[in-house]
Every structure is written in structure tokens, then in C-alpha cells.
Amino acid sequence: MSLLLPVLAVLAGLAALVWSAGRFVDGAAASARLLGVPALLVGMVVVGFGTSAPELTVSAISAWRGNSSIALGNAWGSNICNIGLILGVAAAISPLAIRREALRFDLPILFGTTVLSWFLLADGALSRADAFVLLVAFSAWLGTSVRRAVRGGAAPESASADAPGAGLSGRMAAFWTVLGLVVLVVSSRVLVWGAVELAQAIGVSDLVIGLTVVAVGTSLPELASSIVAARKGADDLAVGNVIGSNLFNTLAVVGLAGAIRPMDAIDPAVYERDVSWAFFLTGILLLILPFPCLYRKAAERRIERPGGLLLLALYAVYLVQLVLCARMHA
């Protein structure tokens, strides 16, 4: 197969990814201000859920075909990537402010739902009853978040001249949000396909491709939107993106997969390694809060660059463990 098409796919996918991420963040931030909705909520619901469309599709199809390892591994692997790689890269580029409402409400809920999933999967199975519990928890969290926003639990962002999406009308904000999201997801798929074809053409093993290109590829929408949001100072969108995406994966994606087809025999590695790593990294976000070198003591605490580098280092350790486990079972 000629390498011209994969090369063009990589270049076009990357260009479209960068362009659509900027438009998506502008549209989402402008929509939050125009609707009077906190940007953190928009980041969790619109950005976080929207960019998790690839994980939802892959897990649903995998569950339907009876491949529980892919269905669950995709969801939990994405959660690990979201915290370790995406939040780590975003914080390393530009320190991220985390508001008190996220620290007091959303992050503890994310940790709690991770613990809930950890216990539900401890028996090595995911029944329809387990899936129902996850879906009910998802509905309860989403409803509570919306009610808090409607009651004024958090203030919307101010429309400063240099704010993301400043000057956009309501129609244009909605247009760029929807178009940006669609192009974001499609371009990530094109980029992953081209990268996989190139890697195979130059002799890179399927293991390396699976652990790098494909694993990160399903999280490219989250990565692109979080980096752009961080660079534009839309920290609530960047942080909300990770929180919302992980909650969506933990509750909705895993819950839907279990509802489609109960999983009687889950690969032990999914629970012992991937779910445990997701549990560990989620806990890290809470445990490192007291350290001033990682967080400033202020109303809006910030994940400083050392904190971002710490998350990246932990993600690298996870990848090393994946490689070692794969070699042991080869």
C-alpha cells in the first residue's frame, strides 16, 4: 500500500484536529457565558461527554460482539490517559486553576464513582444489575450538576475581551460548538488510521501501536480540546473536560456496555491493572492538594507544572507496566 494516503491522513487529521479544537473551545466557552451556565458545567457535559463519543462507540460495539476486555479496557484506559497524559500535558503547558466547587463536589464524586466501579467489578463480572447501578448514578450526578447550575451554585464566566469565544453570537457559538465537536472526532479517527498504517509499514509491532497510537488516539479529542482550553485560559473547560469525560466513561460507557451484554468473565488484568490505576490516579488528584509546590493556596487552587509533570511520569510508569505485562503473556 502506498504511504502517500496515510501521510496525507496524518497531516490533514492533525491540521483539522488543531483547527476544530480551537473552534470547539471558543463555541463552548461562548455558549456558557451567553446561557449563564458555568463553564465548568459546560466543560463536563458538552466537552467531556462530546469528546467521549469514540469511547462510547467502541465500548458499545465491543460489548455487543461479546469482547468485554475491549469494552472495559477502552473506558478505563481512556480514564487513565485523561488524568495522566491529558491533564498532565495541559498543566505542564499552562498551570490550571481548579475552583473550590470542583474540589468539594466534582472531584470527590469522580473518586467515589471510581470506588463504586472498583467494588462492582471485584467479583470479576459486570451484571445488568451492576450496569443499572452505574447508569442510575450517572443520571443522579448529571441531574444534581444541572440543578446546582440553575440555582446559581457557580457563577458563569465574565465576558472579557480576550476570553475564548468573545464576541460570538448565540447562533455562531452553537454552530462552532457542534461543528468543532464533529470535526474533532472525525479528524482524530483519520489521524489514528494514518498513524497506524504508517507504523505498520515501517515495521512497528502491533503491541507498540496498540499501546501508543490507538490508546492515545481514542483520547485525542480530549487532549486537543484540553490543551487549547489551557492555552486560552479556559481552565474550567480543560478541567471539566477531564472530570466529565471520566465520569461519562466510568458510569455511562461501562454501564451501557454492561446493559447491552452482561460480562460474566472479565479479564483479571482489566480489574487488577487498569481499574486499579484509574483508582490510583483519581486519588492522586485529591491527595496532592495539600502540597504547595503542586497547588497554590488560594480560592482557585492551581495545578502547577510540577503537578503536571508528576501526572505525566505516572502515566509513563503505567505504559511501562503495560509493556512488561504484554511481554510476560506473549
- 135-175 pLDDT tens trace: 999 889 878 877 776 665 444 444 444 455 566 777 888 88
Cβ-count burial of 251 within 10 angstroms (0-12 exposed, 13-18 middle, 19+ buried)?
A: buried
Which of 10-19, 250-259, 265-274 has the largest mean confidence? 250-259
Tell me the pLDDT band of 53, cut-offs 50, 70 and 90: low
pLDDT of residue 131: 92
In this prediction the pTM is 0.71
What's the average model confidence in pLDDT over 56-64?
69
What's the average model confidence in pLDDT over 27-39?
72
**φ and ψ at residue 57, rounded to 5 degrees:** -65, -50
What's the average model confidence in pLDDT over 77-81?
84
Tell me the pLDDT band of 209, cut-offs 50, 70 and 90: low
3-state secondary structure of 97: strand
Instruction: Count how many Cα atoms sit within 13 Å of the Cα of residue 68 in the half-sphere of its side chain.
Output: 20
Residue 235 lies in a domain: yes
**CATH number of the domain bearing residue 316:** 1.20.1420.30
pLDDT of residue 113: 92
Cell of 16: 483539522
The CA-atom distances, in angstroms, between 248 and each of 43, 78, 93, 144, 240 are 12, 11, 25, 15, 12
pLDDT of residue 306: 86
What's the average model confidence in pLDDT over 2-24?
78
Pairing of strands 301-303, 96-98: antiparallel
pLDDT of residue 315: 92
Residue 163 lies in a domain: no
Residue 220 lies in a domain: yes
Of 17-26, 129-138, 272-281, the least confident: 17-26
Which has the higher per-residue pLDDT, 297 or 230?
Answer: 230
Which of 188-192, 245-249, 302-306 has the largest mean confidence? 245-249
pLDDT of residue 133: 94
Distance CA 12, CA 142 (A): 36
Question: To the nearest whole percent, how much of the chain has pLDDT over 90?
Answer: 7
Dihedral (Cα; 104, 237, 95, 287), 10-degree rounding: 30
Q: Which residues pair with 97 in a beta bridge?
A: 302
Could you tell me which of 199, 214, 207, 267 has the C-alpha nearest to residue 78? 214
169 Cβ contact list (under 8 Å, min separation 6): none
Checking if the pLDDT of 80 tops 50, the result is yes
Residue 232 lies in a domain: yes
Q: Which residues pair with 303 in a beta bridge?
A: 96, 295
Q: How many domains does the chain have?
A: 1
Residue 167 lies in a domain: no
The stretches of 82-153 forming alpha helices (DSSP H) are: 88-93, 100-101, 107-120, 128-150
Distance CA 228, CA 235 (A): 10
Residue 61 lies in a domain: yes
- Helix and strand element counts for the chain (H, E): 18, 2
Checking if the pLDDT of 60 tops 70, the result is yes
Q: Which residues pair with 181 in a beta bridge?
A: none
Checking if the pLDDT of 29 tops 80, the result is no
Residue 159 lies in a domain: no
What's the average model confidence in pLDDT over 60-80?
74
Checking if the pLDDT of 290 tops 70, the result is no
For residue 131, the one-letter residue type is A
Q: Are 106 and 246 in contact (CB under 8 A)?
A: no
The CA-atom distances, in angstroms, between 272 and each of 17, 33, 118, 123, 280 are 34, 43, 10, 11, 12
Checking if the pLDDT of 296 tops 70, the result is no
Residue 287 lies in a domain: yes
Distance CA 101, CA 236 (A): 11
Distance CA 217, CA 40 (A): 25
Q: What is the mean pLDDT of the chain?
A: 75
- Full domain range(s) for residue 99: 40-153+203-328
